[in-house]
A and B are shown apart, each in its own frame.
Chain A
Amino acid sequence: MAVAAAVHPAPHEEHPTSTGLSSRKMLFWAFLGSECMFFGSLIATYLVYRGRDTVGPHPHEVLNIPFTSFSAFVLLMSSLTMVLALAACQHGDRRGTAGWLAATALLGMTFVGGQCYEFTHFFYDGLKLQGNLFGCTFYVLTGFHGTHVTIGVIWLWTLFTLAIRGKLPQEKSLDVEIAGLYWHFVDVVWIAIFTLIYLIQ
């Protein structure tokens, strides 16, 4: 008892940790920290080369602010549905967990679909990966973000499948919480990209 009181085991941990915090959650926050550096380097590259193109198309000629604003709204709302999925799982609401996870995945797919439409449109407007500095830095930055969203969508559908099979009980809410951390992270990265690339041209 004395040992158990001194080292409080984190939820869902097979063994107690020296901090009393979940090792998985700690590891995932460290991973998100490394992701900050990754996206930071891509954003820095975009900002350093912005406005140095000798040939077009330039950002103001192709970027569609109303369309991207809607995409940003969709991703923000997916963060709401994600956190509601976690709350449902923590309360043992199996149907709620599955429903909110599906809603989050569908909103994520809407965002990725919008990005595919946007990229196709830009391509036909002459913006190519190897065409100019803007095209190269823009596609690499937003493409990596879109890839992260796609991975998140696959992760969410996997959790949805587990939830409808009854394999995502209240005791496994940490699984949903960690997926949620990843999902909110791609949302905050888009908050930065939307402002720095789309609105500040």
Chain B
Amino acid sequence: MTDHQHSTDRHPAEHAHPKGKEYLAIAVVLTVITAVEVAVFYIPAMHPVLVPVLLTLSTLKFALVAMFYMHLKFDHRLFSWLFVLPISLAVLVIIALMKLFGVF
């Protein structure tokens, strides 16, 4: 096995992945956000702003998992584009269909 085949070698545009403590910190943040989401669902005073608050929180969770656990923050930017572009297209399709069917 040559040196450049070693698993620790990375593409110049890639950075080292986080350590265990950082992964644990992200898990704590994700758990707290999930708890806040459920709390918001049960608090009647929050119902007028339920949809924007929940969408914001879930987008934050999605981004944290994609950036830190899927390593998009550290890997080559091409991987991010391969993921972000289809997601954007899927969101546009969802919005277009909802508009087309008179949901809003």
Chain A interface (Cβ < 8 Å from any Cβ of B): 4, 8-13, 19-21, 25-26, 29-30, 32-34, 36-37, 39-41, 43-45, 47-48, 50, 65-66, 69, 72-73, 76-77, 79-80, 82-84, 86-87, 90, 170-171, 173-174, 180-181, 184-185, 187-188, 191-192, 194-196, 199-200
Task: Indicate which residue in A29, A41, A50, A73 contacts B83 across the interface (CB closer than 8 Å).
Answer: A29
- The reply to whether the CB of B73 lies closer than 8 angstroms to some CB of chain A is no
Q: A8-B12, A12-B5 are in contact. Are A48 and B62 (CB under 8 A)?
A: no
Name A51's closest neighbour in chain B (CB-CB).
Answer: B103
A79 and B69 CA atoms in complex are apart in Å by 7
* Complex A-B: 20 CB contacts under 8 Å: A11-B5, A11-B6, A19-B78, A21-B11, A21-B78, A36-B90, A37-B93, A40-B93, A47-B94, A47-B103, A50-B103, A65-B42, A76-B27, A77-B31, A79-B69, A80-B24, A171-B5, A192-B58, A195-B37, A200-B55
B7 near A173 with CB under 8 A, answer yes
Name A185's closest neighbour in chain B (CB-CB).
Answer: B70
- How far in angstroms is the closest Cβ of chain B from A135? 19
Name B14's closest neighbour in chain A (CB-CB).
Answer: A21
Q: A69-B38, A181-B70 are in contact. Are A84 and B23 (CB under 8 A)?
A: yes
Chain B interface (Cβ < 8 Å from any Cβ of A): 1, 4-12, 17, 19-20, 23-24, 26-27, 30-31, 34, 37-38, 40-42, 50-51, 54-55, 57-58, 61-62, 65-66, 68-70, 76, 78-79, 82-83, 85-87, 89-91, 93-94, 97-98, 101, 103
B4 near A76 with CB under 8 A, answer no
Task: Tell me whether chain B's interface is mostly helix, strand or loop, or mixed.
Answer: helix
Q: A26-B79, A26-B82, A188-B65 are in contact. Are A171 and B17 (CB under 8 A)?
A: no
Name, among B31, B50, B51, B79, the residue most crowded by chain A CB atoms within 10 Å (CB to CB).
B79
A82 and B65 CA atoms in complex are apart in Å by 12
Q: Top 4 A-B pairs ranked by shortest CB distance?
A: A40-B90, A33-B86, A195-B58, A29-B82
A25 near B70 with CB under 8 A, answer no
Name, among A43, A50, A90, A191, the residue most crowded by chain B CB atoms within 10 Å (CB to CB).
A191
Q: A8-B4, A184-B70 are in contact. Are A69 and B34 (CB under 8 A)?
A: yes
B7 near A191 with CB under 8 A, answer no
Task: Indicate which residue in A20, A48, A87 contacts B98 across the interface (CB closer than 8 Å).
Answer: A48
A191 near B89 with CB under 8 A, answer no
